[in-house]
Structure 1
Amino acid sequence: MPLNYHDQVNLLTDILTNQQTDCCGSVAECEQLERLVKSLMVNSNLDQNVKPVLQEIYDYSQNGKYTSDLDEHILTNQENLSSWVNNIGSFS
């Protein structure tokens, strides 16, 4: 059963919040973030103001997927993670 828009936003927010809180994550989480962002970007109901935020999250997940030190990547993006969660929350 596919996730609806709100489920996708909630899952995206949960993963980002967990990475921010725990300062660690996995390649699988980065891949999940990519899939969620891609799915949300093609949603015609998406607020256009959130697209730049989703692109930043996509870039973050791409970089995280290929970094040699994912925990350090997450640590250096703490402010971004907080900002993204706040921004997504305001559009969902």
Structure 2
Amino acid sequence: MPLNHEHQMTVLKDILSNHQTDCCGTVSECEQIERLAKSLMGNGQIDQQVKQVLPSIYDYGQAGKYSADLDSHISAHQQQLSDWVDQLT
């Protein structure tokens, strides 16, 4: 059963929050961030303010997926992660 947009937002926020607090993550989490952000960008029920940050979140997931040092990638984005988590609340 597919997740509705509210559940997708919760999962996305949880993954970003974990990256922010743990300063580490996995390639599969980055792939999940990409899928969730892409799905939410195409959803008409998403708040316009949230839609504005989704492309940046998508890019973060994509860059993380291909990063040679994922933990450094996550550490370099601590401020953005904090801002995104706040904006998705």
Class of the TM-score when normalised by the shorter of the 2 chains: over 0.9
Partner in structure 1 of residue 26 of structure 2: 26
Partner in structure 2 of residue 8 of structure 1: 8
Matched positions, count? 89
Unaligned stretches of 5+ in structure 1?
none
Give, in angstroms, the shift of residue 46 of structure 1.
Answer: 1.2
> Which whole-Å CA distance do the structure 2 matches of 1:74 and 1:28 have between them?
14
How high is the TM-score relative to the length of structure 1? 0.93
- Taking only aligned residues, the RMSD between alpha carbons, in angstroms, comes to 0.7
Deviations 1:42-86 (A, max 9, x none): 111111221221111001111111110000000010010000000
Partner in structure 1 of residue 60 of structure 2: 60
Deviations 1:6-44 (A, max 9, x none): 100000000000011110000000000011011111111
Unaligned stretches of 5+ in structure 2?
none
Runs of 4+ in 1 over 3 A off after TM superposition: none
How high is the TM-score relative to the length of structure 2? 0.96
Instruction: Report sequence identity in percent.
Output: 60
Query: 1:67 is aligned with what amino acid?
Result: S
Partner in structure 2 of residue 41 of structure 1: 41
Query: 1:66 is aligned with what amino acid?
Result: Y
Say which SS state the counterpart of residue 24 (structure 2) adopts: coil
